[in-house]
């Protein structure tokens, strides 16, 4: 295992222990609102602190970009750790056991190492650039479906961007009619990991953040899939509008959502 991936795994497992312990005492978890339909818990903060401490022990000069801490700039900015300490906070708050720790390392602007860890199921998804993707040490690949009929697609509702709800529902309707079924799980990181593992055939969402998607993106790419924005370009890290699937399914998804984009989503 790459030494930096090893540190990411260690950090994710440490954070996972914090989350699982807190899950057993949900009544003691403090919840605050960061904005409309956007929540943070004391566990998000404790988990992020545990991740940062683990990374800093080995790589004190690296930059860390955390969902809760923001940008902690290091003296060696070529190395950037992008972390979501608890992706699926709303699930966690409600006691729904579906959430993950997401940690990604960018080296000179390129996705290099990735970990998505589901502490409830004990599932560790990992990837190193050019080395493939794994689930608990076994190689994973995206599904090889050649057409959208018969597929199961995952999605995330635009709950923080409800101004796009009409466009989103039109996209959803098109894809629902063409596919076998749709899933909305509440964790973007796990949705992307599930695409990489072939559990779902594709994924799309409006308004994601880099800490939700960076690790999952590398997982999908290393599992043989593609990740783009809604126009098939590569602006998804900035726009937050993301599609992930194998080459043929991605092309079909883009075709179905394209008529509903408008100016705001064509970025």
List, as residue ranges, the binding site for Mg(2+). 67, 84, 86-87
Question: Residues marked as binding?
Answer: 67, 84, 86-87
Q: Is 135 exposed, middle or buried (0-12, 13-18, 19+ CB in 10 A)?
A: buried
Q: Is 2 left (phi over 0), alpha (psi -120 to 50) or beta?
A: beta
| Torsions phi, psi for 197 (to 5 deg) | -85, 0
User: How far apart are alpha carbons 218 and 109 in whole angstroms?
Assistant: 13
Rounded to 5 degrees, what angle do the CA atoms 209, 255, 251 make?
Answer: 75
Please, which residues have CB within 8 angstroms of residue 13's CB and are 6 or more apart in sequence?
117, 119, 124
- Pick from 66, 83, 67: which is nearest to 12 by CA? 83
Token pair recorded at residue 245: 């699937």
Strand partners, 83: 66, 103
DSSP string, 183-232: E--S-HHHHHHHHHTTSSSEEEESS--HHHHHHHHHHHHHTT-EEE-TTS
User: How far apart are alpha carbons 193 and 124 in whole angstroms?
Assistant: 10
């Amino acid at each position: 295992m790459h030494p930096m991936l090893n540190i990411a795994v260690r950090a994710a497992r440490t954070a996972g222990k914090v989350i699982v312990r807190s899950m057993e005492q949900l009544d003691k978890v403090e919840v605050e609102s960061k904005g409309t339909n956007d929540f943070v818990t004391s566990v998000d903060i404790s988990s992020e602190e545990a991740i940062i401490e683990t990374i800093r022990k080995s790589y004190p000069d690296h930059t860390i970009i955390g969902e809760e801490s923001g940008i902690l700039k290091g003296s060696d900015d070529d190395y950037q750790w992008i972390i979501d300490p608890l992706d699926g906070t709303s699930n966690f708050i409600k006691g729904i056991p579906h959430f993950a720790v997401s940690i990604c390392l960018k080296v000179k602007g390129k996705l290099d190492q990735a970990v998505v860890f589901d502490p409830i199921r004990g599932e560790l998804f990992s990837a190193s650039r050019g080395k493939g993707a794994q689930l608990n040490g076994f190689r994973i690949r995206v599904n090889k479906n050649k057409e959208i009929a018969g597929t199961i697609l995952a999605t995330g509702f635009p709950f923080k961007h409800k101004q796009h709800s009409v466009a989103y529902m039109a996209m959803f309707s098109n894809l629902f009619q063409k596919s076998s079924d749709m899933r909305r799980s509440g964790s973007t990181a796990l949705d992307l990991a599930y695409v990489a593992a072939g559990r779902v055939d594709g994924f799309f969402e409006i308004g994601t953040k880099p800490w939700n998607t960076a690790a999952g993106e590398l997982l999908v790419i290393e599992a043989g899939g593609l990740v783009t924005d809604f126009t098939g370009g590569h602006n998804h890290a900035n726009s937050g509008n993301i599609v992930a699937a194998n080459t043929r399914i991605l092309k079909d998804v883009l075709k179905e959502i394209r008529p509903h984009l408008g100016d705001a989503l064509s970025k």
